[in-house]
Amino acid sequence: MSVLSGKNILLGISGGIAAYKTATLTRLFIKAGAHVRVVMTPASKDFITPLTLSTLSKNPVHSSFYNDDDENAVWNNHVELALWADLFVIAPATANTMAKMISGNSDNLLIATYLSAKCPVYVAPAMDLDMYHHGSTKHSFEKLKSFGNTIIPAESGELASGLHGEGRMAEPEHIVAFLEKDIEGKLPLRGKKILVTAGPTYEPIDPVRFIGNHSSGKMGYDIALAAANEGAEVILISGPTHLTVQHANITLVGVTSGSEMYNACHEHFGKVDTAIAAAAVADYRPKVVASQKIKKNDGSLILELEKTRDILASLGEIKTGQFLIGFALETENEIENAKAKIRKKNLDLIVLNSLNDTGAGFGKATNKVTFINSNFEEEPMELKTKEAVALDIINKIKTHYNV
């Protein structure tokens, strides 16, 4: 999955011949999973139509502050456009547009939107060879960089004038690759390896029956995705679940039983910086597993159970600097029991869930947690979606590494 997936990309198009490439660029952004809106200068409409871009982006295209043909039209809010964007890509950026970006001459909607932007801005210049190498253009590049903008270098090739050289806008595929590489390089958890366990475990009784629990695995999967989106390399060890995950930074290791999860965790734990044990591992398993299906009869069935190995405690015993996070699901004496687990299992942080809290627990889209660190400092959180709780957990990791 591209790092652009889920991002709001505002594409600004100025009036150069390279504007025709923005149809392909818009399509590539959509293919990468991004949401795209387009703002054009009036001159750019001579090179590509708003209809083409609105069709590809699935959003209205804006090119003026208001619609001249509709006396009841409201203005196109450049502030709203700018605040919506996670990334602002101006491609092509002509010499004229770059000069206006520097001077603040907001005589069109694109420049007004740029001046309101709080997100990262990427500029893909496009112009003829001599214009590209002119001193004023070089000055524009330096000033734009000093404002915090990122320049996507122009490429060499045949130009509209017939000349051959530097100045043509980077190809759409190269712009997408540039954005992905630049964003990935700035992600705070890049270079970190994180192990996440998720889901239930199934402990077999016979070939068709098992002991399990109601865990959906959603909390662990959300944590894994949030960590990967921050640049971490994630090993997701998951028990049986209907959930799926697709991200280039996530390696999924499927297991069924607690014993299998124990072995997988110990295989990978020594290679990670952080481990988050979000799985609901069965505490007990049948002492003897029948090789054939147990036949139903009129009498009762007695199963002798034995304790499963405590994965989290075993990791706490062998950790050598890993930031170890556990979960506690309690129904009584929640805080005291959670603190006891911190001591017993040598944890750095525990995420406490209480089944007494409405909206928390298995099979729900929300969770209400309390963070307790190794100093027994408590931080109760409000009821949130599990995606939001996952982000809170990742923020704890970022704080730990001061990133």
Residue 400: φ, ψ to 5°? -60, -40
Residues 6+ apart with CB under 8 A from 185: none
Out of 130, 163, 186, a domain closes at 186
Asked whether residue 28 falls in the same domain as residue 175, the answer is yes
- Taking the C-alpha atoms of residue 99 and residue 201, their distance in angstroms, rounded to an integer, is 61
> In this predicted structure, what is the pLDDT of residue 313?
96
What CATH number does residue 304 fall under? Answer: 3.40.50.10300
Q: Do 225 and 250 share a structural domain?
A: yes
Question: 182 and 197 share a domain?
Answer: no
State residue 144's pLDDT score.
Answer: 96
Q: Are residues 279 and 200 in contact, defined by beta-carbon separation less than 8 angstroms? A: yes
Say yes or no: 179 and 211 in one domain: no
Which of 166, 186, 206 is the last residue before a domain boundary?
186
Give the CATH number of the domain where residue 111 resides. Answer: 3.40.50.1950
User: Do 57 and 106 belong to one domain?
Assistant: yes
In a domain, 174, yes or no: yes
Q: Identify whether 2 is part of a domain.
A: no
Flag whether 3 is in a domain. Answer: no
Residues in CB range of 117: below 8 A, 6 or more apart: 10, 82, 85, 88
120 & 232 share domain? no
In a domain, 231, yes or no: yes
> Which residue, of 186, 201, 230, is where some domain finishes?
186
Angstrom distance (rounded) from CA 238 to CA 367: 20
Nearest to 264 by CA among 209, 168, 195: 195
> Mean pLDDT in each 10-residue stretch from start to end of the chain (403 residues)?
88 96 97 95 95 96 72 65 95 96 92 95 93 92 96 88 85 96 92 97 94 92 95 96 91 97 98 97 93 84 92 96 92 88 96 74 79 96 93 97 93
216 and 344 part of one domain: yes
Residue 259: per-residue pLDDT: 96
Is residue 202 included in any domain, yes or no? yes
- The active-site residue out of 96, 213, 263, 346 is 213
Residue type, 347: L
- Return the half-sphere exposure (C-beta side, CA atoms, 13 A cut-off) of residue 329: 16
263 in the same domain as 316: yes
Instruction: Note the maximum CA span of the chain.
Output: 94
Same domain assignment for residues 166 and 206 = no
Q: How far is CA 318 from CA 166, 269, 272, 283, in A?
A: 57, 9, 13, 21
232 found inside a domain: yes
Provide the domain limits for residue 223.
Answer: 193-400
HEC assignment per residue over the chain: CCCCCCCEEEEEECCCHHHHHHHHHHHHHHHCCCEEEEEECHHHHHCCCHHHHHHHHCCCEECCCCCCCCCCCCCCCHHHHHHHCCEEEEEEECHHHHHHHHHCCCCCHHHHHHHHCCCCEEEEECCCHHHHHCHHHHHHHHHHHHCCCEECCCEEEECCCCCEEEEECCCHHHHHHHHHHHHHHHCCCCCCEEEEEECECCEECCCCCEECCCCCCHHHHHHHHHHHHCCCEEEEEECCCCCCCCCCCEEEEECCCHHHHHHHHHHHHHHCCEEEECCECCCEEECCCCCCCCCCCCCCCCCCEEECCCHHHHHHHHCCCCEEEEEEEECCCHHHHHHHHHHHHCCCEEEEEECCCCCCCCCCCEECEEEEECCCCEEECCCEEHHHHHHHHHHHHHHHCCC
- Tokens at residue 166, please? 């530097």
Same domain, 106 and 246: no
What's the total number of domains in the chain? 2
Beta-carbon contacts of 358 under 8 Å, excluding residues fewer than 6 positions away, are 368, 383
In a domain, 251, yes or no: yes
Decide if 31 is inside a domain.
Answer: yes
**pTM of the predicted model as reported, rounded to 2 decimal places:** 0.78
Residue 104 and residue 91: Cα distance in Å, rounded? Answer: 18
Q: Using CA atoms, how far apart are residues 227 and 272, in angstroms rounded to an integer?
A: 13
User: What pLDDT was estimated at residue 66?
Assistant: 64
Q: Is 213 a catalytic residue?
A: yes
Statement to judge: residues 180 and 312 lie in one domain: no
Question: Do 225 and 335 belong to one domain?
Answer: yes
